Amino acid sequence: MQISDAIRTFKTQQIATLKRSTQVHYATLFDHFLQHFSGREIESITAGEVGQFLESQTASKAKSTRRLIYAQVKAFFNFLINECLMDIKNPCAHPLIARQYKYPKPATREILDKELVDQLIYSTTSDRDRLILELQARCGLRIGEVLKLRAADVSDRKLTIREPKSGKESEIAFMPEQIAKRLAEYMVAEHICRRRSERGRF
């Protein structure tokens, strides 16, 4: 299979489902990939050549960016092997390449016990801060997801999470009834305050 055909298939079946920023990153990577391996058959590309390509693309990059580019090239070859049933070995799986771009061992995270989490929540005097903590602790949201919430994302006990870390366009989370009630009251109060503030400008 020609490089250009392989990339076209990957873009159609895989990249189209990813969020926009990831699509842009893949597009740039594939432009460079096509230039480097122009006119080649996928089967003819060796692990050494892929290693050279990765080095040319990541030499001046941060470690996290180097690992991202490696992961995306590896995902491309995995797609050809698993979905297009190509009888090849993933060149990114070569021990020398995999070792060069491996992820560091994650640091052990300290998990707060429920009593301490409850204490933090109940000692908070700000309604906004308490809701932020409760949405994280009770609904499993990340702080970035909470801060991106808008009124249109709230429907009774349901929250629509825009651009979650999973890479999907959106995800749904559900709130306990008491948190949903406090959030609704908070949004109403904020709306009234905003209206009053806007009227005061004239």
134 and 194 both lie in a single domain:
yes
Domain end (from 100, 135, 164): 100
Q: Would you say residue 104 has pLDDT above 80?
A: no
Q: The whole model's pTM is what? A: 0.54
Domain end (from 67, 100, 133): 100
Side-chain-side CA neighbours of residue 49 (13 Å): 12
36 and 84 both lie in a single domain:
yes
Going by pLDDT thresholds of 50, 70 and 90, the confidence category of residue 196 is confident
73 and 125 both lie in a single domain:
no
121 and 181 both lie in a single domain:
yes
pLDDT at 103: 80
Specify the DSSP class assigned to residue 41: B
For the chain, what is the mean pLDDT?
88
Range of the domain at 17: 3-100
Answer whether residue 140 is part of any domain: yes
Instruction: Report how many domains make up the chain.
Output: 2
CATH number at residue 151: 1.10.443.10
d(CA 192, CA 184): 13
**142-158, pLDDT tens digit by residue?**
898 999 999 999 999 99
Domain end (from 100, 125, 156): 100
Q: Is 156 exposed, middle or buried (0-12, 13-18, 19+ CB in 10 A)?
A: exposed
pLDDT at 58: 92
Q: Is 70 exposed, middle or buried (0-12, 13-18, 19+ CB in 10 A)?
A: buried
Answer whether residue 150 is part of any domain: yes
pLDDT at 200: 58
27 and 93 both lie in a single domain:
yes
Phi, psi of 170 (to 5 degrees): -160, 160
